[in-house]
Amino acid sequence: MTSLSVLSVTSELFPIIKTGGLADVAGALPFALSHEGVQVVSLLPGYPGVMKALGRTEVVRHYPSLFGGPARLLTATSNQLDLLVIDAPHLYERPGSPYLTPDGRDWPDNARRFAALGRVAADIGQGTMPGFIPDIVHAHDWQAGLAPAYLHYSETPRPGTIITIHNIAFQGIFPANMLYELGLPPHAFTVDGVEYYGQIGFLKAGLRLSDRITTVSPTYSKEIQTPEGGMGLDGLLRSRSKDVVGILNGIDESVWDPSMDNALAASFTRDALERRGVNKQALQRRLGLDEDPDAMLFGVVSRLSEQKGLDLVLGALPTLLQDGAQLALLGAGDRTLEESFRAASIVYPGQVGCFFGYDETLAHLIQGGSDALLVPSRFEPCGLTQLCAMHYGNVPIVSRVGGLADTIIDANEMAVASGAATGFQFSPVNLTGLIDAAIRAKMLWSDKAAWRCVQRNGMASEVGWGRPARQYAHLYRSCLAEA
């Protein structure tokens, strides 16, 4: 096995900076790839949280001017990950999330902030960093989309380029008149370059100009090639279909390990599932729910957004909560959804308990303490919470889309009888679908032995990074061989 080096270009990385699953992927994949002979260095913007998390750093390059101010490229190691960090205070030293102001609007200079990420990635790809010349530059999502573009338009030899779509709903579209400022040549502004419906598309550029395109599940790789799922990019993706591949995400089994999880009130294994009861009680207490071991407890751990279909959960509440069942919700995002769930917790005291915000510990407790996890997404590139749920004996109830379709085996009669079922799927994604699935889940839950069996199947499912890492390593090697 020849060794290979990869520059992973990402705007998030767990545990340093996270708003969603991209961070989990970017944080876990490098470890898994190290077992496949692939050395990964991750390039990350120096947001305040990132700068704080770095220990000893070394300056490897000075930029007198990087999109409007001086910057430095630092190397560091954090949680055993090799990092390159762009220290550019004029772009990144500010409060709020990586993408949004504290009051929830896009930072007005996001084009420059993430062009800088792409520019520095391309420079490293062109061998400007002593001691590290990547064979592959692997860009994640629109924020890294210009990396392959800068490399494409450079006149020098370049490494192989790959872009991964974690969510095609976010595309990074900016005015055409920024072309010069972004350091792109005039001839880049064509349909075969960065132009996207008269503007500049960062994701579009990455998809057009990378050697290969991946996304995070096989089903999503097909959905994004249809007008319904492609959000304007389906034509381009169809034209490149032989270069598009879906590789399912895994979860980090050292972070998500129910037998050794400090966030739980009681750790447990597949053979000691009764210990989950202690977590259920702790969760009920934490969220002000009635401490009733016999109440079926539905959980939600999610961004609150249109994508995640949680308005359907609101609509289904009367059915879900029948017979004294309960809902534990952890979510952050859309204010209207938040208000609606807050109102529901008042209408159903002791039956609906919510926490609004980001809370890693509570996310673990919900996975280890609730009976079934609701994931009614309208679209879901992969989804990680259903994988965590399976791994924690929490039975997922999911819509049959994207990665949810690829990871859950529906508990239909045959699958229950043959011992294959790992959860519940519904389609189409609407209220009736969710209600039907919830009713089926409630019926199975009343058969304790059958329910246990579904829990155990989920816990025995392979959800780690081993297999996906082998697929990425194979992809990198084939990309390189072609180059």
Q: Are 411 and 439 in contact (CB under 8 A)?
A: no
Task: Decide if residue 163 touches ligand GLC (CB under 6 A).
Answer: no
Q: Which stretch binds ligand GLC (CB under 6 A): 90-98, 259-267, 325-333, 379-387?
A: 379-387
Instruction: From 82-90, 171-179, 239-247, 375-383, give the range in contact with ligand GLC by CB under 6 A.
Output: 375-383
Pairwise CA distance, residues 130 & 216, whole Å = 33
Minimum distance, C-beta of residue 152 to ligand GLC, in the bound complex (Å): 24
280 or 308: CB nearest ligand GLC: 308
- Least separation, in Å, of the C-beta of 147 and ligand ADP? 21
- Closest approach, Cβ 14 to ligand GLC, in A, equals 11
Instruction: Mark residues 229-258: x for contact with ligand GLC by CB under 6 A, - for none.
Output: --------------------x---------
Which listed range, 60-68, 85-93, 337-345, 374-382, lies at the site for ligand GLC (CB under 6 A)? 374-382
Contacts of ligand GLC in 464-483 (CB under 6 A) = none
Residues within the interface to ligand ADP (CB under 6 A)? 20-21, 24, 301-303, 330-332, 358-360, 363, 382-385
Asked if residue 29 binds ligand GLC (CB under 6 A), the reply is: no
Query: Of ligand GLC, ligand ADP, none, which one does residue 159 interact with (CB within 5 to 8 Å by kind)?
Result: none
Smaller CB separation from ligand GLC, 74 or 397: 397
Query: For ligand GLC, which residue of 166, 364, 391, 442 counts as binding (CB under 6 A)?
Result: 166
Instruction: For the CB of residue 363, give the shortest distance to ligand ADP in the complex, in Å.
Output: 4
Please provide the DSSP assignment of 175-217 as one string.
-GGGTTTTT--GGG-STTTTEETTEEEHHHHHHHHSSEEEES-
| Total residues belonging to the chain | 483
Q: What is the 3-state secondary structure (H, E, C) of 104-141?
A: CCECCCHHHHHHHHHHHHHHHHCCCCCCCCCCEEEEEC
Q: Between 143 and 249, whose beta carbon lies closer to ligand GLC?
A: 249
CA distance 477 to 483: 10
Cα distances from 168 to residues 105, 141, 171, 343, 380, in angstroms, run 19, 8, 6, 32, 10
* CB neighbour burial string for 167-198, b if at least 16 within 10 angstroms, e if fewer: bbebbbbbeeeebeebbbeeebbeeebbbbee
Q: Which does 216 bind (CB under 5 to 8 A by kind): ligand GLC, ligand ADP, none?
A: ligand GLC
Least distance in angstroms from the C-beta of 182 to ligand ADP: 27
380 contributes a contact to ligand GLC by CB under 6 A: yes
Helix (H) or strand (E) holding 160: strand 160-165
Please identify, using beta-carbon distances, which residue of 23 and 454 lies nearer to ligand ADP. 23
Closer CB to ligand ADP, residue 189 or residue 358? 358
Q: Which of 216, 224, 328, 416 binds ligand GLC (CB under 6 A)?
A: 216
Q: Residues 421 to 450: which contact ligand GLC by CB under 6 A?
A: none
Q: Which does 330 bind (CB under 5 to 8 A by kind): ligand GLC, ligand ADP, none?
A: ligand ADP
State how far the Cα of 2 lies from the Cα of 47, in Å rounded to an integer: 35
- With beta carbons less than 8 A apart as the criterion, state whether 220 and 404 touch: no
Is 44:22 a contact under the CB 8 Å cutoff?
no
The DSSP secondary structure of 30-65, one letter per residue, reads HHHHHTTTEEEEEEEE--HHHHHH--S-EEEEEES-
Among 98, 381, 393, 468, binds ligand GLC (CB under 6 A): 381
Ranked by CB distance to ligand GLC, the top (closest) residue is 21
Question: 102 to 161, contacts with ligand GLC by CB under 6 A?
Answer: none
Q: Which of 90, 303 has the CB closer to ligand ADP?
A: 303
The single-letter DSSP state of residue 275 is G
Return the one option of ligand GLC, ligand ADP, none that residue 363 interacts with (CB less than 5 to 8 A, by type): ligand ADP
Contact 14, 27 (CB under 8 A): yes
Structure tokens at 12: 């998030």
The span of 323-331, 376-384, 450-458, 468-476 binding ligand GLC (CB under 6 A) equals 376-384
Q: How far is CA 141 from CA 22, 144, 147, in A?
A: 9, 6, 11
The count of chain residues that interact with ligand GLC, using the rule CB under 6 A, is 14
Q: Residue 307 CB, nearest distance to ligand ADP (Å)?
A: 7
Question: In terms of DSSP bridges, do strands 38-45 and 326-333 run parallel, antiparallel, or are they unpaired?
Answer: unpaired
The number of helices, as runs of H, and strands, as runs of E, in the chain is 18, 18
Structure tokens at 366: 């919900």
Q: Considering only residues 75, 167, 279, 394, which one is a binding residue for ligand GLC as defined by CB under 6 A? A: 167
Q: Does 304 bind ligand GLC (CB under 6 A)?
A: no
Instruction: Show the DSSP H helices in 333-383 as ranges.
Output: 335-347, 360-369
Give CA–CA dist 372/79, Å, rounded: 32
CB of 168 closer than 8 Å to CB of 142: no
Binding map of ligand GLC across residues 388-417, x = CB under 6 A, - = no contact: ---------------x--------------
Beta carbon nearer to ligand ADP, 361 or 412 = 361
CA 145/CA 209 separation, integer angstroms: 9
Binding stretches for ligand GLC (CB under 6 A): 20-22, 25, 166-167, 216, 249, 380-384, 403
